Amino acid sequence: MLLEVRNLTVRFGSKTVVDSVSFDLEASSRLGIIGESGSGKTLTTLAIIGLLPETAKVSGSVTFEGKELIGLADRDFSAIRGNRIGMVFQEPLTALNPLMRVGKQIAQPLRNHQGVTLKEGLKRAMELCARVGLPDPDRIIRSYPHQLSGGQRQRIGLAIALACSPALLIADEPTTALDVTVQKEVLSLMNSLVAEEGSSLIFVSHDLPVVASITERVAVMQNGEIVELASVNSMFQDASHEYSRKLIQAARTSDAEFGHFTESPSA
Amino acid sequence: MSLILETRGLSRIFSLPRAGFGKERAVRRAVVDVNLKVEEGARLGIVGESGSGKTTLAKLLLGLDTPSEGEVRFRGQAIPLEDMHSFRRQVQVVFQDPRSSLNPRMRVGDIVREPLECLNVTEDHDTRIIEVITEVGLPKDLVQRFPHELSGGQRQRVAIARALAPRPKVLIADEPVSALDVLVRDEILSLLADLTTNLGLTLILISHDLSVVARLCDDVVVMQHGTAVEKGKTMDVFRAPRHEFTKRLITAVPRLPGTK
Amino acid sequence: MMWNRNLLIGASLVGFNVLVAMLSLVWTPYDPLEIEPALSLTRPSTAHLLGTDENGRDILSNLIVGSRATLITGVMAVVICMVVGVTVGIATSVSPRWIESPAIFGIDIVLALPTVLFAIVLAAVYGPSTITAIFAIGIALSASVAQVTRREVNVVLTSDYVTAARASGSSTRRVIRRHILPNIRASLFVQASGACAVAILAESTLSYLGLGTTPPAPSWGRMMASLQQFLLIDPIFPLWPGLAIVITVLGFNLLGDGLREVLDPTLRESKH
C-alpha cells in the first residue's frame, strides 16, 4: 500500500475542516476527490504533504511508503516533497516563481534531491519539456512564466512535479483555470504521463466528468467528511449517499442537454 | 418578430502602452467586425474561451464602452441614445462573480434600489424591491443583509433581482454561473430559464461552458479572438459544426462515462 | 470591533496625549513661561519632576503645554492633507486622460520635494509660525495621500459592482458617493493616523529649525533645539522632549497599524 490515510482530522481553533478522513491508495492507482468549495478537499491534500498553515491542528495518521507523515519534521518532509510526492496546483501563474526562468525551476527539484549540477539539470529540464509536449524546449526553458500561456504554464507545473519520477502525484484542480480546449490536452497529457511513470494519482476537483475521465475511484467530500468512496462505475450506477446522487444528477442533466445537441439523430 | 438589438461591423481595439520610445503602440483587437441580429424574445448564447472578446462585447452591447468602429443598434437606433436612462431601463446585465458584483458595503435592499433611483423608475420603489426579491426566490427579510452574509447562490439571485428591478426587455448574463458551486449552478440556471419565459425577456447569455448554452439558448454565436466564427441555431451548430474552432470546442467538453 | 495589541497600545498612547493636552488648558505644575534664572538647568527633583531648562523654566510644564502645539499642528496638518489628498486622488481617477496625466506628474513633483522646502518658502513669505508649518506639512503630505487614494479608488473603479452601477444608470458623482467613498473609508482611517505620526515628526523638525511655532509658545521641537546644546552637561535635558516626540509618534503609528488590522480582515470576510 503506497498511501494509507486513517482518521485524518484538521482543526482550526474549534472549527473542524477535515473530519476523520480515511482512504487507501495502492501503487500505480488513481483516486479522485470530488467536492465543492469548503468541502475540505484541498486541505486534505495539504495535510498529506505537510503544507498546512501553522495554526492548523492535525491528528490521525498518514503513512506513505511505510513512513508516518503526520508530525514529520519539515526537514524530512522537504526530502519527500518534489521527490517522492509531486504536486500540481490550480493556478499555474502563482505556483511558479515569476522572477525565475522556467528551466531553472524545473531543474530545482533535480538539484535538491538528486544532486545534479545546474547544467545537467537544465538539460534534463529540456527533456522534460519535450515530454510534456512543449515545442521548442530550448526557448521555453529560458522563458519567464508570464511569457507563457496558461496551458504552457500548467505543463511546466507538471514537468516540475514529475521531474524526480515521484511515486505519487497530487493534482489540485489542475485544469479548472484553463480553457476547455486546453483542459482536454492537459488532462490527456496527465493521463499518459502518470501511466508511463507508473505513479499513483490523487486528482482533486469540483468537476465530476473531469474526475471521472481520469480516475477509477472517487471519494466524495462534503463538510470535511468523505461521504462516499467507490469506483466511478458503481457510483454512477448506484450512488449510496444523497449528496453524491445530487452531484451525479446535476452532471447528468448538463451532459444530457449537451448530448442532446451533439449526438447525431438516429436514423 | 422585431430586431431588438443589432450590431453592425462592431469593432473594439485597445491600444496598449508604448513599449519604448520610437516603438509603435501595440494593439489588442478585442472585438473585430461582429455582426449580430437579436430578435425580441430570442435566447442567444455567446460562446468563447478567455480572450475571445465576449466580455468586451457585452460592455459594448450595454453602452458601457464605445466601439472603435461600427455601431450597436437598439430597436433600430444607434446607441448612445438621447435618453440613455430609457435604454438602461430596458437593457440590463448580470455579471459573473457575485462576490465582486455587489458593493460589499451596501445592503441588499439598497443594491436592488439603485437602478430604480438612478433610472427614474416611476413605480413605488419599496414595493418593486420586495416584488423582485420574491420573484428570484429570496425571502423578504434578506433586504437588510449585507452581501458577505449570503451564500454564493443567494448573492447571484440578488444580482439578478437588481437587473430585473427596472423591468428590462433584454437581459445580458455574462458567465452567470461560472463562479458558483455545481449544485447551485443548476438552481440558478433553472431560475434564469423560468424568468426568461415568464417575463418574456430577450436573453443574451455569455459563457465558455457549452452545456450551459445548450440548456438555455436557441441560438448561438461562437467567438474566437474577437471574431464571430460561427452563428446559427444551437441545435445546428452543435450537431454539425462547420468551423474548425467550434469542432474543437465541442469535442473538448468532458463527457460522462458511457457517453460518446 | 476586534481589539488587538497595536490598537490598544496606540489608542492608549494617543488618548494619553490628548488628555495631557486638555489638562494643560486648566492646570500645569508651574507656569511654563516663568523664568527663574537661579534654578537654571537643575536635574529632576521632587520640586521639578523633569528638571528645569536653561532659563529655569519647568520642563514638565513646558512639555505638557507643548503637547498642545504638537497635537494641534499634527491634527490640522492631517485635516489639510487628507482633504486635499483625497479630493485630488478621487478627482484625477475619474477624470479623462488629458487631466489625469499632468495631475499625476504634479503629484510626483510634490512628492519629490521635502517638507522642509515648503516650510522654508512659506516662512520666507509670511514669517515662520504654527500656521505656516501646518500648511507646509499639509501640502507636502497630501501628495502621498493622493497617490495611495488613487490606487484604492482604482481598485474600486475596476470592480464589477461599479460597472453594474453604471449599467444601472449611476452618474459619476453617485458612484463616488455611494461606491468609492464607503469602500475606501477604511484605508483613509489608516492613512490619516499614519499621516498624524509623520506630521508630528515634521512639526518637531520644523520648530527645531525655527520654522514652526515661534517663541515663547512651548514646542517640543524647539525645546530639543535649545536643550541640545547642553547635551554635554547632562544628556537628560534634551532627552525629555525627544522622548515625548518618540512616544507620541509611536502612538499614532501603532494606532494606524491597529486600525489596519481591524478594518482589513472585516472587508474580506465572506461566507461561501
Across the interface, of B49, B234, B256, the residue whose CB is closest to A181 is B49
- Cα-Cα-Cα-Cα dihedral sign, residues A37, A39, A43, A49: negative
Task: Work out the number of other CB atoms within 10 angstroms of the CB of residue C235.
Answer: 12
Q: Averaging pLDDT over each range in B199-203, B209-213, C16-20, C218-222, which range is the top one?
A: B199-203
Q: Which residues of A touch B214 (CB under 8 A)?
A: 257-258, 260-261
Across the interface, of A207, A233, A262, the residue whose CB is closest to B239 is A262
Residue written as cell 490606487?
Answer: C151
Closest-approach residue (CA) in chain B for A216: B257
Q: Which of A101-110, B242-251, C180-189, C227-236 has the lowest mean pLDDT?
A: C227-236
CATH classification code of C60-266: 1.10.3720.10
pLDDT in tens, A232-265: 988 888 888 999 999 888 888 888 878 777 665 5
Residue of B178, B140, B139, B141 lying closest to B156 (CA atoms):
B178
Q: Tell if the CB–CB gap between C271 and B101 is shorter than 8 Å.
A: no
In whole angstroms, give the CA distance from residue B53 to residue B31.
6
Q: Tell if the CB–CB gap between B181 and A206 is shorter than 8 Å.
A: yes
Give residue A267's pLDDT.
Answer: 37
Q: Which of B221-235, C159-173, C253-267 has the lowest mean pLDDT?
A: C253-267
Q: How far is B149 from chain A (nearest CA, A)?
A: 16
Q: Residues A164, A83: contact at Cβ < 8 Å?
A: yes
Q: How far is A108 from chain B (nearest CA, A)?
A: 31
Mean pLDDT value across residues C66-80: 88
Long-range (24+ apart) CB contacts under 8 A made by B20-24 are none
Q: Tell if the CB–CB gap between B150 and C183 is shorter than 8 Å.
A: no
Reported as a pLDDT band with limits 50, 70 and 90, residue C265 is: low
Q: How far is B164 from chain C (nearest CA, A)?
A: 11
Across the interface, of B182, B252, B256, the residue whose CB is closest to A36 is B182
Could you give the C-alpha distances from B69 to A99, B34, B66, B96, in angstroms and in order? 39, 10, 9, 27
Mean pLDDT of chain C: 84
Mean pLDDT value across residues C53-59: 82
C-alpha B126 chain-centroid distance: 26
In whole angstroms, give the CA distance from residue C50 to residue A193.
78
Give residue C127's pLDDT.
Answer: 80
Give the bridge partners for B15, in sequence order.
B27
In whole angstroms, give the CA distance from residue A60 to residue A37.
23
In whole angstroms, give the CA distance from residue B38 to residue B74.
10
Please tell me which chains touch A, using 3 or more CB pairs under 8 Å as the contact test: B
Dihedral angle, C-alpha A134, A139, A143, A146, nearest 10 °: -50
Residue C101 in grid coordinates = 496625466
Mean pLDDT value across residues B117-145: 93
Strand order in the sheet with A3-12: A15-25, A3-12, A56-64, A67-68
Residue written as cell 536635574?
Answer: C43
Mean pLDDT of chain A: 88
B233 contact A CB<8A = no
Residue C169 in grid coordinates = 444608470
Across the interface, of B214, B252, B260, the residue whose CB is closest to A183 is B252
Q: Residues A31, A219: contact at Cβ < 8 Å?
A: yes
Dihedral angle, C-alpha B3, B4, B9, B12, nearest 10 °: -170
Q: Tell if the CB–CB gap between B96 and C160 is shorter than 8 Å.
A: yes
Is the pLDDT reported for residue A181 higher than 70? yes
- H-helix segments, B73-202: 84-90, 98-101, 108-118, 125-135, 152-164, 182-199
Across the interface, of B211, B248, B252, the residue whose CB is closest to A255 is B211
pLDDT in tens, A139-180: 998 999 988 888 889 999 999 999 889 999 999 999 888 888
Across the interface, of C168, C178, C183, the residue whose CB is closest to B119 is C168
Q: Which residues of C touch B93 (CB under 8 A)?
A: 164, 167
Q: Residues C106, C165: contact at Cβ < 8 Å?
A: no
C178 contact B CB<8A = yes
Closest-approach residue (CA) in chain A for B212: A254
Per-residue burial over B183-193, b if 16 or more Cβ lie within 10 Å, else e, is: ebbbbbbebbe
Give residue C61's pLDDT.
Answer: 85
C38 CB-near residues (< 8 Å, 6+ apart): C56
DSSP per residue over C181-224, as a string?
Answer: HHHHHHHHHHHHHHHHHHHHHHHHHHHHTTSSSPTTS--HHHHH
User: In chain A, where are the structural domains located?
Assistant: 3-246
Helices (H) and strands (E) in chain A, counts: 11, 10
Q: How far is B238 from chain A (nearest CA, A)?
A: 5
Q: Tell if the CB–CB gap between B183 and A250 is shorter than 8 Å.
A: yes
Reported as a pLDDT band with limits 50, 70 and 90, residue C190 is: confident
Q: Which residues of B touch A222 (CB under 8 A)?
A: none
Give the bridge partners for A57, in sequence order.
A11
SS3 state of residue A87:
strand
Mean pLDDT value across residues C164-183: 90
Rounded to two decimals, the ipTM of the complex is 0.86
Q: Tell if the CB–CB gap between C183 and B99 is shorter than 8 Å.
A: no
Give residue B132's pLDDT.
Answer: 95
In whole angstroms, give the CA distance from residue B34 to residue B12.
10
Q: Tell if the CB–CB gap between B92 and C178 is shorter than 8 Å.
A: no
Mean pLDDT value across residues C86-106: 90
Q: How far is C97 from chain B (nearest CA, A)?
A: 13
B1 contact A CB<8A = no
Q: Residues B112, B105: contact at Cβ < 8 Å?
A: no
Long-range (24+ apart) CB contacts under 8 A made by A258-263 are A258/B210, A258/B211, A258/B214, A258/B238, A258/B253, A258/B255, A259/B255, A259/B259, A259/B260, A260/B214, A261/B214, A261/B234, A261/B235, A261/B238, A261/B239, A262/B238, A262/B239, A262/B250, A263/B239, A263/B260
C97 contact B CB<8A = no
Give residue A229's pLDDT.
Answer: 94
Q: Residues C40, C55: contact at Cβ < 8 Å?
A: yes
Reported as a pLDDT band with limits 50, 70 and 90, residue A22 is: very high
Is the pLDDT reported for residue B153 higher than 70? yes
Give residue B111's pLDDT.
Answer: 94
Q: What percent of chain A has pLDDT over 70?
A: 97
Q: Residues A241, A220: contact at Cβ < 8 Å?
A: yes
B185 contact A CB<8A = yes
Q: Tell if the CB–CB gap between B101 and C165 is shorter than 8 Å.
A: no
Q: Tell if the CB–CB gap between C178 and B106 is shorter than 8 Å.
A: yes
Q: Averaging pLDDT over each range in B220-229, C124-133, C251-260, which range is the top one?
A: B220-229
C164 contact B CB<8A = yes
Mean pLDDT value across residues C18-40: 82
Is the pLDDT reported for residue C103 higher than 60? yes
Q: Tell if the CB–CB gap between C167 and B118 is shorter than 8 Å.
A: no
Per-residue burial over C216-227, b if 16 or more Cβ lie within 10 Å, else e, is: ebbbbbbbbbbb
Across the interface, of A180, A250, A257, the residue whose CB is closest to B49 is A180
Is the pLDDT reported for residue C272 higher than 60? no
**Exposed, middle or buried by CB within 10 Å (0-12, 13-18, 19+), for B200?**
exposed
Amino acid sitting at position B163:
A
Mean pLDDT value across residues C242-248: 88
Closest-approach residue (CA) in chain A for B189: A254
Tell me which residues of chain C, numbers 179 to 198, contact chain B at a CB-CB cutoff of 8 Å: 179, 182-183
Amino acid sitting at position A240:
S
| Domains present along chain B, CATH in parentheses | 3-252 (3.40.50.300)
Q: Which residues of B touch C270 (CB under 8 A)?
A: 99, 147-148
Q: Which CATH number fits the domain A3-246, given the four candidates 3.40.50.300, 3.40.50.2300, 3.40.50.450, 3.40.50.1110?
A: 3.40.50.300
Specify the DSSP class assigned to residue A257: H
C68 contact B CB<8A = no
Phi and psi dihedrals of C60, rounded to 5?
-60, -45
SS3 state of residue C27:
coil
